[in-house]
């Protein structure tokens, strides 16, 4: 208790009525939950098995368990429940499966499984993949709102809604026939169980004598009803949340559940945690000013004892490429000047598509990075395809690469042909490519199948020979033209903009290879591929928490994290706030998202915007985000391109650039 401030101690010790802890960003909410569990066990003599703490992610649950383990000996925590909402729901269903018409060993379907069922139910409809995904989202939304199929059928208006309602009904029947539940059922079915069978509810209320809920602002209707039923008239619970950090409306989160709590539990005690242990006073002043433009059920204002801090720098850039270059230049200069670690820096953006130029720039400067909340450059299918070609050209023994590209794009080399080739290669103890030329293969394959396979093998060997005798970069460009890869992407997809994005990723890969090739003459294609493969392996295998790397992540993925130095990029209308949110009048959540981004920064915050940006193939003028106008002007330092710098700073920046060049050469 000695390490807690007065408000934190009040939240921990209050057990006379239900408690809502309004925990501002960086105010120590997890500390309150873990210390309260220790207080309930140690001071209130409640058995650990009668306490349940729920949160939203396995990572958060693990962190909570770890901290409780530091506060209490293991024997005192035996039987304690610390889990996600969905794990708690699954445990309830397993114990009460008979009441729900489920048989022992029922299956839990993941998103892909449920999408496959929906696709099967739509097989006679002219539904594409987007329509099926939309149906899946609608069904999930109905379940999260506790709306049964029968009710949806009653309120369906037009034919499209009726069709969706019928598929929802059929989907539910199919799940029960399979003795299966989906992810949303893990919350919705226990609520239905408690409403239908009061004796079951009474049993669970006796089992869980005290309930603690983390990230309460992210609860949907079903999760709130689960909390309400388990708490019952005793109201023995503490929920911890921050309505200013509710940024998941798109997956059903309802910050208005804070209001519902006050209505359903009139004796509710509200305790505010406003002291922030993360950020400087200036960063918090900017965050407070921004979020004050949103309506509030409960007012709070963050404060800090960590000092005033530096001004918030606003970097105005020509376009998105200049934005990436400028951010990386600032990062390199700051890191060189202060001798900080790369892991101290984060680049935050509204959408995953914004990461590409930052990834490209960091790679070209040899700066390690971790991509969170999106697809890594090397995980993209189109990059994997082209890299598989290059791996096979560099190493004709690479059978995995051979299998990936033999029929990508389609060239009539089917699964049966490849199985027979693999069998022959195993018998001969050699690679697939070498086996493709042997006369003995004719005993396993014949006719057009053999002709197509050998044509492909000859072409690969010819390309490999050309790459050794001439400029490998030109050979790579020829390869992409010869396989007509862009046309194939067009053929398998129905989204022209998506094809353009994929081709841009391939161009980024080639440009990177070209820079590597120009940096050191005489490198073979094998050398280039080896360097890129090493980067890929490091990205995939290094422990992220131990890796000294710049963090690239979306604002949504940044929630709950903190970094000494933060760059928030793309501060423009239609990016932040997002165009869809502007059209749908959802500006309050966009403002909360920016608030989350600002409050990730501990010491320094940079905001960037571009005067022009490419959109759907054309360059358009951009307007600065309305949110920038809501920030206190005296705390912002606007910097146009070419802003005057004193000679000492210019020299330091030059030294930083030279230091990075030397590191690259090493």
Place of tokens 């998103």: 111
* Angle between helices 185-196 and 221-231 in degrees, nearest 10: 40
Sign for the pseudo-dihedral over CA of 490, 532, 568, 646: negative
Closest CA to 388 of 215, 556, 509: 509
Spot the catalytic one: 34, 84, 245, 417: 245
Spot the catalytic one: 9, 13, 30, 653: 30
Closest CA to 226 of 240, 205, 241: 205
16 catalytic residue (yes or no)? no
Is residue 28 marked as binding? yes
Backbone angles phi, psi at 86, to 5 degrees: -70, -35
Closest CA to 129 of 110, 149, 152, 112: 112
34 catalytic residue (yes or no)? no
DSSP symbol at 319: S
Spot the catalytic one: 96, 182, 184, 215: 215
Is residue 481 marked as binding? no
Is residue 24 marked as binding? yes
Backbone angles phi, psi at 639, to 5 degrees: -135, 110
Is residue 89 marked as binding? no
∠221-224-226 over CA atoms, to 5°?
Answer: 110
Reduce the DSSP state of residue 147 to 3 states and report it.
coil
What is the rounded CA–CA span in Å between residue 272 and residue 67? 22
CB-based contact 226:187 (threshold 8 Å): yes
245 catalytic residue (yes or no)? yes
What is the rounded CA–CA span in Å between residue 316 and residue 323? 8
CB-based contact 247:596 (threshold 8 Å): yes
HSE at residue 184, side-chain half, CA atoms within 13 A, is 23
Quick one: 307 exposed, middle or buried, by C-beta within 10 A (0-12, 13-18, 19+)?
exposed
What is the rounded CA–CA span in Å between residue 307 and residue 282? 8
Spot the catalytic one: 343, 356, 363, 600: 600
Closest CA to 37 of 234, 226, 272, 214: 214
What is the rounded CA–CA span in Å between residue 274 and residue 269? 16
Is residue 26 marked as binding? yes
Is residue 241 marked as binding? no
Place of tokens 């067009």: 490
Is residue 29 marked as binding? yes
- H or E element, residue 509: helix 496-519
**Cα 217 vs. chain centroid, distance in angstroms?**
19
Backbone angles phi, psi at 184, to 5 degrees: -70, -30
215 catalytic residue (yes or no)? yes
455 catalytic residue (yes or no)? no
Cis peptide before 540 (omega within 30 of 0): no
What is the rounded CA–CA span in Å between residue 127 and residue 133? 10
DSSP 392-410: HHH-TT-HHHHHHHTTSS-
Give the full edge-to-edge strand order of the sheet including 19-23: 81-84, 51-55, 210-213, 237-241, 19-23, 269-273
447: left (phi over 0), alpha (psi -120 to 50) or beta: left
What ranges in 104-241 are assigned the alpha helix state H? 111-121, 129-144, 149-155, 159-177, 185-196, 198-207, 221-231
Closest CA to 22 of 31, 11, 14, 13: 11
Spot the catalytic one: 96, 184, 185, 214: 214
Binding residues: 23-30, 278
Question: Per the annotation, where are the binding residues for ATP?
Answer: 23-30, 278
By annotation, the residues acting in catalysis are: 29-30, 214-215, 245, 600
């Amino acid at each position: 208790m000695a390490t807690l401030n007065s408000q934190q101690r009040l939240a921990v010790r209050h057990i006379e009525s239900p408690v809502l802890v309004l925990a501002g960003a960086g105010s120590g909410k997890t500390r309150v939950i873990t210390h309260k569990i220790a207080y309930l066990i140690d001071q209130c003599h409640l058995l650990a098995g009668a306490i349940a703490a729920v949160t939203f992610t396995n990572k958060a649950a693990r962190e909570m368990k770890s901290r409780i383990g530091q506060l209490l000996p293991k024997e005192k925590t035996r039987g304690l429940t610390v889990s996600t909402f969905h794990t708690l729901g699954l445990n309830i269903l397993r114990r009460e499966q008979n009441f729900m018409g489920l048989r022992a060993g029922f299956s839990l379907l993941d998103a892909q499984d449920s999408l496959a069922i929906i696709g099967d139910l739509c097989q006679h409809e002219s539904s594409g993949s987007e329509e099926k995904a939309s149906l899946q989202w609608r069904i999930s939304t109905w379940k999260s709102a506790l709306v049964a199929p029968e009710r949806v059928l009653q309120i369906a208006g037009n034919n499209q809604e009726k069709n969706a309602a019928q598929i929802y009904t059929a989907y539910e029947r199919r799940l029960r026939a399979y003795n299966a539940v989906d992810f949303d059922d893990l919350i919705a079915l226990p609520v239905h169980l408690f409403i239908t069978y009061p004796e079951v509810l009474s049993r669970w209320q006796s089992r869980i004598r005290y309930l603690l809920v983390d990230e309460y602002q992210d609860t949907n209707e079903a999760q709130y009803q689960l909390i309400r039923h388990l708490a019952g008239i005793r109201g023995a619970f503490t929920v911890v949340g921050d309505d200013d950090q509710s940024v998941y409306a798109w997956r059903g989160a309802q910050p208005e559940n804070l209001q519902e709590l006050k209505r359903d539990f009139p004796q509710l005690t509200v305790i505010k945690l406003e002291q922030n242990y993360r950020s400087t006073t200036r960063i918090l002043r900017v965050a407070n000013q921004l979020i004050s433009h949103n309506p509030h059920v409960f007012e709070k204002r963050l404060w800090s004892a960590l000092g005033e801090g530096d001004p918030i720098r606003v970097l105005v850039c020509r376009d998105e490429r200049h934005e990436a270059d400028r951010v990386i230049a600032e990062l390199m200069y700051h890191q060189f000047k202060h001798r900080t670690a790369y892991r101290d820096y984060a680049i935050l953006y509204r959408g995953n598509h914004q990461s590409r130029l930052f990834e490209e720039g960091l790679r070209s400067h040899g700066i390690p990075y971790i991509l969170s909340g999106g697809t890594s450059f090397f995980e993209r299918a189109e990059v994997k395809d082209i890299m598989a070609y290059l791996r096979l050209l560099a190493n004709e023994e690479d059978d995995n690469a051979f299998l990936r590209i033999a029929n990508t794009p389609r060239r009539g080399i089917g699964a049966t042909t490849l199985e027979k080739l693999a069998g022959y290669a195993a018998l001969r103890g050699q690679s697939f490519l070498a086996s493709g030329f042997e006369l003995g293969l004719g005993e396993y394959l014949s006719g057009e199948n053999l002709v197509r396979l050998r044509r492909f093998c000859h072409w690969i060997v010819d390309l490999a020979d050309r790459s050794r005798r001439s400029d490998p970069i030109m050979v790579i460009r020829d390869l992409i033209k010869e396989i007509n890869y862009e046309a194939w992407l067009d053929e398998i997809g129905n989204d022209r903009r998506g094809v353009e994005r994929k081709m841009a990723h391939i161009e980024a890969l080639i440009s990177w290879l070209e820079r590597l090739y120009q940096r050191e003459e005489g490198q073979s294609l094998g050398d280039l591929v080896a360097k890129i493969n090493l980067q890929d392996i490091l990205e995939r295998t290094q422990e992220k928490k131990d890796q000294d790397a710049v963090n690239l992540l979306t604002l949504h993925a940044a929630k709950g994290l903190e970094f000494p130095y933060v760059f928030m990029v793309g501060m423009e209308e239609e990016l932040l706030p997002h165009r869809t949110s502007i059209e749908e009048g959802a500006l309050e959540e966009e403002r909360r998202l920016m608030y989350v981004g600002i409050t990730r920064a501990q010491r320094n915050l940079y905001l960037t915007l571009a005067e022009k940006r490419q959109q759907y193939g054309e360059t358009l003028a951009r307007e600065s985000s309305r949110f920038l106008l809501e920030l206190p002007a005296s705390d912002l330092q606007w910097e146009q391109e070419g802003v005057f710098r004193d000679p000492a700073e210019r020299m330091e920046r030059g030294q930083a650039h030279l230091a990075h060049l030397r590191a690259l050469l090493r």
